Amino acid sequence: MLERPPGRLRSLNLVSTLRCNLRCMMCDIWKTKYEHLDMEDSVLQKIGCSDVVKDGYKTLGKDFNISVTGGEPFLSENLESVLSFIKETFPGNPYTITTNGTLTDKIIRAFSKFGVKGSRLHVSIDGMKDTHDLHRGMPGSFNKTMKTIKAVRKHFPWVRLKMKFTITKENLGEITDAYELSRQMGMEFGAKPVEVAIHYTNPGGKPGFGTSFSGPDRLVISEQLKKVASDCLRRGESANAAFFLDTIRYINKGRTIMDTCLSPLGTAFVMPNGDVFRCLHFNSVGNLAEGSFDDAWTSRTSMSVIESARKMDCGGCASFHGSYGNYADMFLHSIKNIFP
Ligand code: SF4
């Protein structure tokens, strides 16, 4: 155990459940038999007691990033506990929920009861209607998700909506169509290539995912992301433009512009069973059934993950953009960790 916590926690990601109602082609969660499907109160209590969590929240305030994900979070049998934990522990702080958007009524109910102004709803959309339904393994899912987006827009205009597009071999021709749809629907837009995360969405591992696009495919992706970046620039959204241009670099070279990664220094993912990860490409740094959050945060495994990330032993990824609101935020985080 080390005396001083390494890095200030700034991004707390709660995997509220491993249940999912869809059958996506790029995610294995729904196939796997897990013992702990939903995040339990004991895990939440351990997080609430943590000095590392308290320090991150106290220091960063509204910049302390809290996100709820899954599986499909709105299927969690303990979602009410997770959301009320967030409201009580981080009062007034907006948070992010990532969803497939199909469970309209549950989403509306959750925001009615636990909504905080400025919160974000990230909705996965992987193409236009038929392509999206193919990816999600469920006919009708696109229409359900569109219904949710409209309902959230109508009832909770203060929710920040973002479309999350996962680029695959099957949908790479529809990036600009999805981008235009996001603009029409008043949503922000994010796109990244599908990646294997063996500790998370692909516990079985699926070869052929990630940056393994063919040369012609990479060209099609790059051309579309350039169009998206240029539209962002035209609108004065330079941080978003930089993000898409860097994604092009990643798809073509397997590396982003960064030659080091500080994401694990400030990021924690907590699984329903209490496993804590600093990065989902590395092993768990501890478990909340066996010790405290602060034990995990300061463990030797934590140190070795941080060191490996600094040296990019992982080979790099595009996922770490997902830990931040936008590209500019990522640089800000790096600076804050160097000059806390
Ligand atoms: S670049 Fe490496 S350490 Fe950083 S988030 Fe990606 S896989 Fe993790």
What residues are paired with 192 via a beta bridge?
Answer: 166
Report pLDDT for 2.
Answer: 45
Q: 103-121, pLDDT tens digit by residue?
A: 999 999 999 999 999 999 9
Q: Summarize the confidence of residues 35-46 as an average pLDDT.
A: 95
Q: What is the mean pLDDT of residues 151-170?
A: 96
Q: Is the pTM for the entire model greater than 0.85?
A: yes
Which residues are paired to 286 by β-bridges?
Answer: 276
For the chain, percent of residues with pLDDT exceeding 90: 70
Please give the number of the atom of ligand 1 that sits closest to the Cα of 323: 5
Give me ligand 1 centre to Cα 280, in Å: 8
- The reply to whether ligand 1 has any atom less than 6 angstroms from the CB of 261 is yes
Mean pLDDT, rounded, for 198-222: 79
Does 309 contact ligand 1 (Cβ within 6 A)? yes
Higher pLDDT, 16 or 30: 16
In angstroms, what is the span from residue 330 Cα to ligand 1's centroid?
13
Helix (H, G, I), strand (E, B) or coil at 191: strand
pLDDT tier for residue 308 given thresholds of 50, 70 and 90: very high
Range list of H helices, the chain:
41-49, 51-60, 79-89, 104-114, 129-136, 141-155, 175-184, 215-234, 238-253, 263-266, 293-297, 300-311, 327-338
Which carries the bigger pLDDT value, residue 211 or residue 275? 275
Segment 47-66 shows an average pLDDT of 95
Looking at the CA of residue 279, tell me the nearest atom of ligand 1. Answer: 8
251 Cα to the center of ligand 1, angstroms? 15
pLDDT at 82: 98
281 lines ligand 1 (CB under 6 A): yes
Q: Which residue has the higher pLDDT, 219 or 206?
A: 219
Numbers of helices and strands, H then E, in the chain:
13, 9
pLDDT over threshold 60, residue 207? no
For ligand 1, say whether the CB of 314 is within 6 Å of any of its atoms.
yes
Average pLDDT, the chain: 90
